[in-house]
């Protein structure tokens, strides 16, 4: 499996798989298979795929560590860009089908409806992350600042869930929201647990050395 992830065709294969949802939506729209309200179906579907891609990119590190498969890290940047890609499609679907690309109405709607404001903030952060996802940006910012900036993907996860929650609040339908919230909470919780676990041996060693120094003095 590790050799398979390093195969030259692995990245193109993952790229093609990430485009399958878009291909299906284009086909369904052309074949009139999006139901009675195709515009709403496209807006919802692109939003759902944004959340799924976000869950997938946040799952890379836990899977890499738990399965001892460092090769998975080579797909993380691509998956992160697909989160931005589907988020942008989600925004464009809303701007086109709901607002008719009327800039004034879009701005008013963003200000008036909190869930759209939160979603717009999430996409703004994703835009910043996408724009700085390349090697030149890492060199320009420095590794530490770049890592600190890209940890804001955790804020994107929170904003995305809040966006979804407020959107479903009007219909009092929180089933899917709970599923995504549970998945993202588990992924973020694993990161916190793993970081604390890595710190414990260091703290324990430091404490042992301090105790030994105190005894010898």
Q: What are the domain boundaries of the chain?
A: 2-191
Half-sphere exposure of 76 (CA within 13 A, CB side): 18
Closest CA relative to residue 81, chosen from 126, 43, 51: 126
CA dist 88 and 46 (Å) reads: 9
Model pLDDT, residue 74: 94
Tens of pLDDT, residues 41-89: 999 999 999 999 999 999 999 999 999 999 999 999 999 999 999 999 9
Model pLDDT, residue 2: 83
Tens of pLDDT, residues 20-32: 999 999 999 999 9
173 or 152: which leads in pLDDT: 152
Residue 16 has pLDDT above 60, yes or no: yes
Tens of pLDDT, residues 124-151: 999 999 999 999 999 999 999 999 999 9
Half-sphere exposure of 149 (CA within 13 A, CB side): 18
CA dist 165 and 173 (Å) reads: 9
Residue 217, judged by CB atoms within 10 A of its CB (0-12, 13-18, 19+), counts as: exposed
Model pLDDT, residue 216: 38
CA dist 67 and 197 (Å) reads: 17
**Contacts of 116 by beta carbon, 8 Å cutoff, 6+ apart:** 94, 109, 110, 163
């Amino acid at each position: 499996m590790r050799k398979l992830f390093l195969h030259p065709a692995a990245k193109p294969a993952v790229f093609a798989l990430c485009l399958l949802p878009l291909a299906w939506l284009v086909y369904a729209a052309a074949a009139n298979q999006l139901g009675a309200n195709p515009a709403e179906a496209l807006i919802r579907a692109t939003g759902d795929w944004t959340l799924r891609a976000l869950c997938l990119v946040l799952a890379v590190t836990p899977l890499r560590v738990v399965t001892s498969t460092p090769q998975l890290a080579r797909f993380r940047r691509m998956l992160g860009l697909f989160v931005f890609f589907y988020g942008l499609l989600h925004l464009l679907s809303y701007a086109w089908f709901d607002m008719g690309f009327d800039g004034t109405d879009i701005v008013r709607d963003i200000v008036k409806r909190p869930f759209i404001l939160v979603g717009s903030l999430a996409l703004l952060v994703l835009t910043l992350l996408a724009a700085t996802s390349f090697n030149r940006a890492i060199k320009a910012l420095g590794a530490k600042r770049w890592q600190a900036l890209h940890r804001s993907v955790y804020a994107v996860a929170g904003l995305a869930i809040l966006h979804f929650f407020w959107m479903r609040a009007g219909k009092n339908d929180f089933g899917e929201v709970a599923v995504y919230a549970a998945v993202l909470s588990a992924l973020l919780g694993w990161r916190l647990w793993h970081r604390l676990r890595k710190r414990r041996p260091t703290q324990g060693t430091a404490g042992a050395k301090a105790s030994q120094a105190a005894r010898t003095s």
